Amino acid sequence: MNGSNENYGEHNSRFSHNSHPILPPRGDYHTLLSFQKAEVVYDITFRFAHKFLSKGDRTVDQMIQSARSGKKNILEGSKAALTSKETEIKLTNVARASLEELLDDFKDYLRARDLQVWAKDSKQALFVRELGRKTPQTFEEYREFVETRPPEVVANIAICLIHQTNYLIDQQLRRLEQDFLKDGGLRERMTQARLQARKVNYVGNEPTSRPASSNREAP
């Protein structure tokens, strides 16, 4: 898969083309491929935990919470972009960490039961990777497999999707950090906007002709 969060890039390119925008456009998280995949991961995890884990097992809540955190922090980070690039970066990092924790839980499930983790170039993993190229990403692409396959297969599908999501988030974070270094945060943008406004105001009010000298002799 190409792995790029293309809609995210387009959104930020519009922001960068403006001279000194104080508030960048609010991020539309629904168009982020990373969010779409994180939502699918949550839907799979919720069903997996309730179907294949024992009732009362603390791992049920832990896995669902990690999946929820991955999804919600991408959402909240995108919304925070309106006023704070720093907060957007922080929340996106939280999403990445939560999904990494969930990834480890799925691997623990397989390892503890002597079940196989698919190799990244296995036929099964390549099939899931191909499904991951479809846009938009929705749970419906995976519903049949989640509802009919054994836990080993469902866990491996989740692992593949988490890897894809983390890859997208890593790209997203690199872009966010580049934008922050280039454009700064809200305070820097406000300062730049004030300086530009003063400059424009000064140029607009500058006199177009010099007054006659008081020392000049009358004709």
Enumerate the domain spans of the chain: 6-203
Q: What is the pLDDT of residue 96?
A: 98
Average pLDDT on 124-147 reads 96
Average pLDDT on 194-219 reads 56
Average pLDDT on 15-41 reads 68
Q: What is the pLDDT of residue 204?
A: 61
Q: What type of residue is 38?
A: A
**Any idea which residue has 């919720």 for tokens?**
46
Beta strand spans in 41-193 (E): none
Average pLDDT on 18-41 reads 72
Residues in Cβ contact with 20 at an 8 Å cutoff, skipping those fewer than 6 apart = 189, 192, 193, 196
pLDDT at 27 over 70: no
Q: What is the pLDDT of residue 11?
A: 45
pLDDT at 23 over 70: no
Average pLDDT on 94-122 reads 97
Average pLDDT on 67-96 reads 91
Burial (0-12, 13-18, 19+ Cβ within 10 Å), 184: middle
pLDDT at 215 over 80: no
CA dist., res. 58 & res. 68, Å (int): 16
Average pLDDT on 54-74 reads 96
Q: Which two tokens stand for residue 1?
A: 């898969």
CA dist., res. 181 & res. 183, Å (int): 6
Q: What is the pLDDT of residue 129?
A: 95
CA dist., res. 157 & res. 151, Å (int): 10
Q: What is the pLDDT of residue 17?
A: 39
Average pLDDT on 92-96 reads 96
Question: Average pLDDT, whole number, for the chain?
Answer: 82
DSSP state of 150: -
CA-based end-to-end distance of the chain = 84
